[in-house]
Amino acid sequence: MPETIVFYTFSAVAIGASALVIGQRNTMYSVLLLIASFGALSGLYIQLDAPFVAMAQIIIYAGAIMVLFLFVVMLLNAPREDAAEWDRAHPLHHPNIGRFGALLATLLIVQLAWALAKVNGLDAPVGARTDASVGSVVEMGRVLFTRHTFAFEATSVLILVAMVGAVILARRESGEQ
């Protein structure tokens, strides 16, 4: 029973904080709420016996990526979104497009419910078939450096390219003041 309470608490925090991220007009609050959402998600990962992913979530996502976002928000010191202008100018504001979108969304929900009704075994407890040791850091490291070595090395190239790309994109042109 306690794990049910923990699951619903973390899920509610994650969903509520994410919804507020979308609802906020102030980007600063959005970034801080997203950190709360990521913290709740890492609680869910712990519950799924994935301690490494949970820690990576907190250290990399909530720690590094969100601090990067905070830096940019503070650096740009951007004005708030203009809601009135958005309401007038938005292309999705046309009523016919809205109706068409609602129809498509309803179709998608019906299709999803139909597909889910055909799948068996989704109601089985998530950890019923296997023991928790499968998610251990030792096992994960072994698989990462044997079966997925190429992907791991490719990731390092990706990081290098992203780093160089970010520096080049964000630098000031030499002609500019």
Site for another protein in 30-49 (CB under 8 A): 30-31, 34, 37-38, 41, 44-45, 47-49
By CB under 8 A, tell whether 5 contacts another protein. Answer: no
CB 157, min distance to another protein, A:
10
Please tell me the distance from the alpha carbon of residue 88 to that of residue 138, in angstroms, as a whole number.
Answer: 56
Using CB under 8 A, which residues numbered 92 to 111 contact another protein?
92
By CB under 8 A, tell whether 74 contacts another protein. Answer: no
Q: Which is nearer to another protein, 114 or 116 (CB)?
A: 116
70 to 7, 24, 31, 41, 87: CA distances (angstroms): 29, 15, 7, 20, 27
Q: Is 117 helix (H, G, I), strand (E, B) or coil?
A: helix
80 in the Ramachandran plot: left (φ > 0), alpha (ψ -120 to 50) or beta? beta
Q: Which of 9, 60, 107, 153 binds another protein (CB under 8 A)?
A: 60
Q: Which of 125, 150, 175, 177 binds another protein (CB under 8 A)?
A: 125
30 burial type by CB count under 10 A (0-12 exposed, 13-18 middle, 19+ buried) = middle
By CB under 8 A, tell whether 129 contacts another protein. Answer: yes
Please tell me the distance from the alpha carbon of residue 53 to that of residue 45, in angstroms, as a whole number.
Answer: 7
Q: Which of 97, 102, 110, 163 binds another protein (CB under 8 A)?
A: 163
